[in-house]
Amino acid sequence: MKTYVFDASALFIYLQQKLSANKVNELLKQALDGRVEVLMSTINFGEVYGIIFRNHGKERALTVMSALQSLPIQLVEATRERAFSASEIKSMHRLYYVDSFAAALAIEHKATLVTSDSDFRKMGHSFPVLWLKA
């Protein structure tokens, strides 16, 4: 089964119904049907909460995050090993720490990263990327 890893930008594109939202919707439909697996680090999920909290307040952030729980996205915890892997990626490729968790998860699961964040280009061809337009 093909596996995808969402970073925060994938969820924002979905939430804001931006240009590439149809690609995210299709992956979520496939995950619901059991044809693909969609993973997301709890660190990146927390990033989504933090940005909504900053821009719209706690009540809105909690409401949105509650609604997202119904999506077929498997949240993956940040274990010590994943934190070390993310830290190594951050150091080697000069990514933001939160982004390095998405990259580490994609590498760990031999998955395709789903993102609109051009910072991931710094990693070259470390894993496949499905590029979204914001």
Maximum Cα–Cα distance for the chain, whole Å? 40
Residues 51, 4: Cα–Cα separation, whole Å:
22
Q: pLDDT by residue (tens digit) across 53-75?
A: 999 999 999 999 999 999 999 99
Q: How confident is the model at residue 134 (pLDDT cuts 50, 70, 90)?
A: confident
| C-alpha distances out from residue 29 to 55, 72, 101, Å | 29, 8, 24
Residues 80, 73: Cα–Cα separation, whole Å:
22
Q: pLDDT by residue (tens digit) across 79-99?
A: 999 999 999 999 999 999 999
Domains in the chain: boundaries: 2-131
Q: How confident is the model at residue 126 (pLDDT cuts 50, 70, 90)?
A: confident
At the topology level, CATH places domain 2-131 in Rossmann fold (3.40.50)
Q: pLDDT by residue (tens digit) across 14-61?
A: 999 998 999 999 999 999 999 999 999 999 999 999 999 999 999 999
Residues 13, 48: Cα–Cα separation, whole Å:
11
